[in-house]
């Protein structure tokens, strides 16, 4: 479906919608008139029910608000109790950790000391010599300072531990053993008491934790439950308020409607007559607009002039393919500063609209083949030049050894003359081909210019016709925007006839599309793909609501007018693009002609140089043949010949890599352009090509 078909379809749907709404409004009006006769008693009953319901709703709202406030107060208290329980649990945990750490240190020290005392007692009872030098004795020395002992026991034990190894075993060891056993018993009793106290503290802590966790869980459950109830009652309050507001409004409206029932019924009758009249005018405006846009001539014009991506671009267009191919061809020129009239000719052919892709692809293939041949020729010539230079230099050194080498020089020069002849012939053929391309480019430029003028005229007709359709819709929907048709200007003769009371001869109706006087030039059609989305109409309001003021299809008309404005904007955009393309095509053509002229001049100059070199070589061949009996003459001839070889080959050898890189870039850009035109898509965004020429709308 093309864009203008979419506009017509929307207008037809507006017609159907207006007709449907007319039937629905008529049924609504009939029901309202029936209600005018029988609805008074129903209104009185509704008023009584509403007067009873309003106080009940008000009382329910107050009760719900009070319950909500109580819930909010309970939530505050539960949250405070939960926070206090968590803080108490945290303090108990910190105290328990501190006590556990102290017990662990104390019990570790006691166990170490008890073990040391046991070892000391066992050693003393066995009479082990050297006991005072053991680590156990060192532990006993610390205990004499730290433990709670009598002064005599402390002195006795200190005196025993202070003896040296040479003093021998002290006779009071029995007393020492008794003191140590007493110390061990005291320390074991202290460890047992500390363990008992630690176990009691752990049990007390676990009880506190269980109680506080239970308190936290109870408060959490209460908070969640009351939050749910708070949300429910909040929703209930809002529902009751809305019900009260709706009931109050309905009560007020019913009272007012009952008081004004008779007057309203008469007013609605008058309003209904105005609605029917306005609906008929709107239907007439839409019908005339459809007639204006839906004729075969108008549809043919729109189909052929509106740009393809005017509404919804779903595929890659031919122009986009041309643009991608042009970008590929120009990329090599911008990177490697390549200026080749043959590529310029392909660029110009792509820039136009008449040259088919098959022809351009064929031109690209020919160009790639030609570039490959030129590169092959350069490779062969480079190989020849390198070999020729080396060989000639060697020959110059060998001239003193053999006179027969001169014959080889003559043969080589003869071959060079043949090569120059081939190159001259190739350049002359290139000039002829270039001249033919210039003639073809000139003809192509003329054809494109004629197509540009015909398309421009058709676009102007399209814009004028769309403007007439928009103006007809504005006549009904936006009278301030409506523009009256210009009045007919009377000639002097017609003015005299009217002043004398005569009448003018009837004028023939305007021709053109749908009688608008607008004509257009035939151009190639293009297919536009769009998608449509239908909106279901709203159902009519139920009784006892009466038919309100007539609502025209203004919203839909705004959409249609905006769509027409989009089409006009598309036509303007295409016109601007055509103007830019026309200008670019002219610039490309002029550049091609200039590049062709420059290449023709360079090739002609090259032919002249090569012909001069060829003539020189022929002369030198004769001279070498004449002087071949003289070794000195042969050496001088060979040196001159070597210089001429350098003249012919040095430029090629110095610029071989540059020329090779430039040709590779040209071949790459040509292959990319060919791939784009053959269906490839390097953007990775669009995977299909649209090159459809439709013969039907």
Task: Provide the residue count of the chain.
Answer: 697
| Dihedral, CA of residue 71, residue 75, residue 81 and residue 87, to nearest 10 | 180
Q: Which of 22-26, 212-216, 397-401, 548-552 has the lowest mean pLDDT?
A: 548-552
pLDDT score of 695 more than 50:
no
CA-to-CA distance for 679 and 664, rounded, in angstroms? 22
> Under a CB-based contact definition with an 8 Å cutoff, are residues 70 and 575 in contact?
no
CA-to-CA distance for 390 and 393, rounded, in angstroms? 5
Cα–chain-centroid distance for residue 490? 61
pLDDT score of 274 more than 70:
yes
Query: Collapsing DSSP states into helix, strand and coil, what is residue 525?
Result: coil
pLDDT of residue 504: 59
CA-to-CA distance for 196 and 202, rounded, in angstroms? 10
Written in H, E and C, the secondary structure of 551-581 is: CCCHHHHHHHHHHHHHHHHHHHHHHHHHHHH
> Under a CB-based contact definition with an 8 Å cutoff, are residues 681 and 305 in contact?
no
CA-to-CA distance for 532 and 9, rounded, in angstroms? 10
> Under a CB-based contact definition with an 8 Å cutoff, are residues 350 and 597 in contact?
no
The percent of residues above 70 in pLDDT, for the chain, comes to 71
With CA atoms as reference, report the closest residue to 606 among 669, 665, 556, 651: 651
CA-to-CA distance for 434 and 419, rounded, in angstroms? 22
**Between 355 and 551, the higher pLDDT residue:** 551
pTM over 0.85: no
CA-to-CA distance for 644 and 601, rounded, in angstroms? 23
Give the helix/strand (H/E) hosting 354: none
> Under a CB-based contact definition with an 8 Å cutoff, are residues 530 and 312 in contact?
yes
Q: How is the chain split into domains, by residue range? A: 41-259, 316-483+557-678
The percent of residues above 90 in pLDDT, for the chain, comes to 2
pLDDT score of 506 more than 80:
no
List, for residues 428-478, the tens digit of each pLDDT value.
888 888 888 888 888 888 888 888 888 888 888 887 888 888 787 877 777
CA-to-CA distance for 408 and 396, rounded, in angstroms? 12
Confidence of residue 83 (pLDDT cuts 50, 70, 90): very high
DSSP label at residue 401: T
List, for residues 117-132, the tens digit of each pLDDT value.
787 777 776 765 556 6
CA-to-CA distance for 515 and 639, rounded, in angstroms? 89
With CA atoms as reference, report the closest residue to 438 among 330, 362, 353, 345: 345
CA angle 101-102-104, nearest 5°? 65
Confidence of residue 39 (pLDDT cuts 50, 70, 90): low
> Under a CB-based contact definition with an 8 Å cutoff, are residues 625 and 410 in contact?
yes
């Amino acid at each position: 479906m093309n864009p203008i078909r979419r506009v017509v379809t929307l207008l037809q749907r507006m017609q159907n919608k207006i007709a449907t709404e007319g039937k629905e409004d008529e049924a609504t009006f009939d029901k309202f008139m029936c209600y005018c006769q029988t609805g008074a008693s129903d209104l009185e009953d509704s008023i009584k029910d509403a007067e009873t319901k309003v106080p009940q709703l008000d009382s329910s709202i107050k009760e719900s608000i009070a319950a909500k406030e109580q819930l909010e107060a309970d939530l505050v208290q539960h949250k405070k109790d939960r926070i206090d329980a968590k803080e108490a649990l945290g303090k108990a945990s910190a105290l328990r950790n501190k006590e556990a750490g102290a017990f662990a240190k104390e019990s570790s020290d006691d166990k170490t000391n008890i073990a040391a005392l046991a070892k000391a007692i066992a050693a003393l009872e066995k009479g082990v010599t050297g006991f005072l030098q053991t680590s156990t004795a060192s532990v006993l020395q610390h205990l004499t300072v730290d433990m709670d002992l009598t002064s005599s026991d402390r002195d006795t034990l200190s005196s025993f531990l202070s003896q040296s190894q040479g003093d021998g075993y002290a006779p009071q060891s029995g007393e020492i053993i008794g003191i140590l056993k007493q110390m061990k018993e005291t320390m074991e009793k202290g460890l047992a008491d500390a363990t008992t106290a630690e176990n009691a503290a752990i049990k007390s802590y676990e009880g506190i934790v269980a109680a506080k966790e239970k308190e936290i869980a109870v408060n959490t459950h209460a908070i969640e439950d009351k939050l749910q109830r708070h949300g429910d009652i909040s929703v209930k309050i809002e529902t009751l308020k809305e019900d009260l507001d709706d009931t109050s409004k309905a009560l007020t409206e019913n009272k007012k409607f009952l008081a004004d029932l008779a007057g309203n019924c008469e007013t609605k009758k008058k309003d209904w007559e105005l609605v029917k009249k306005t609906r008929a005018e709107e239907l007439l405006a839409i019908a005339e607009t459809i007639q204006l846009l839906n004729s075969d001539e108008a549809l043919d014009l729109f189909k052929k002039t509106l740009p393809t991506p005017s509404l919804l671009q779903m595929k890659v267009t031919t122009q986009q393919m041309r643009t991608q191919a042009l970008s590929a061809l120009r990329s090599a020129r911008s990177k490697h500063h390549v200026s080749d009239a043959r590529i310029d000719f392909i660029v110009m052919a792509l820039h136009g609209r008449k040259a088919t892709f098959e022809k351009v692809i064929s031109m690209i293939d020919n160009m790639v083949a030609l570039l490959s041949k030129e590169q092959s020729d350069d490779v062969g010539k480079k190989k020849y030049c390198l070999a020729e230079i080396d060989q000639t230099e060697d020959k110059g050194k060998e001239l003193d050894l053999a006179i027969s080498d001169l014959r080889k020089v003559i043969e080589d020069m003869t071959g060079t003359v043949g090569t120059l002849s081939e190159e001259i012939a190739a350049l002359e053929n290139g000039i002829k081909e270039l001249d033919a391309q210039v003639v073809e480019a000139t003809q192509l430029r003329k054809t494109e210019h004629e197509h540009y003028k015909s398309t421009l005229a058709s676009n102007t007709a399209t814009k004028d016709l769309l403007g007439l359709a928009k103006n007809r819709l504005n006549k009904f929907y936006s009278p301030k925007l409506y523009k009256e048709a210009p009045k007919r200007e009377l000639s002097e003769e017609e003015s005299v006839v009217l002043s004398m009371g005569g009448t003018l001869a009837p004028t023939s109706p305007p021709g053109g599309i749908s009688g608008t006087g607008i004509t257009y030039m035939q151009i190639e059609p293009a297919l536009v793909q769009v998608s449509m989305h239908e909106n279901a109409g709203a159902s009519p309001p139920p009784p006892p609501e009466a038919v309100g003021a007539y609502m025209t299809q203004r919203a839909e008309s705004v959409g249609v007018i905006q769509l027409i404005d989009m089409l006009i904007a598309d036509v303007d955009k295409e016109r601007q693009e055509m103007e830019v393309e026309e200008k670019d095509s002219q610039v490309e053509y002029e550049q091609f002609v200039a590049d062709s002229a420059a290449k023709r001049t360079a090739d002609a100059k090259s032919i002249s140089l090569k012909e001069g070199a060829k003539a020189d070589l022929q002369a030198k061949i004769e001279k070498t043949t004449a002087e071949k009996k003289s070794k000195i003459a042969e050496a001088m001839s060979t040196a001159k010949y070597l210089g001429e070889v350098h003249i012919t080959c040095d430029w090629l050898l110095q610029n071989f890599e540059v020329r090779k890189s430039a040709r590779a870039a040209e071949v790459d850009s040509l292959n990319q352009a060919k791939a784009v035109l053959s269906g490839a898509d390097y953007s990775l965004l669009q995977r299909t090509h649209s090159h459809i020429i439709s013969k039907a709308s």
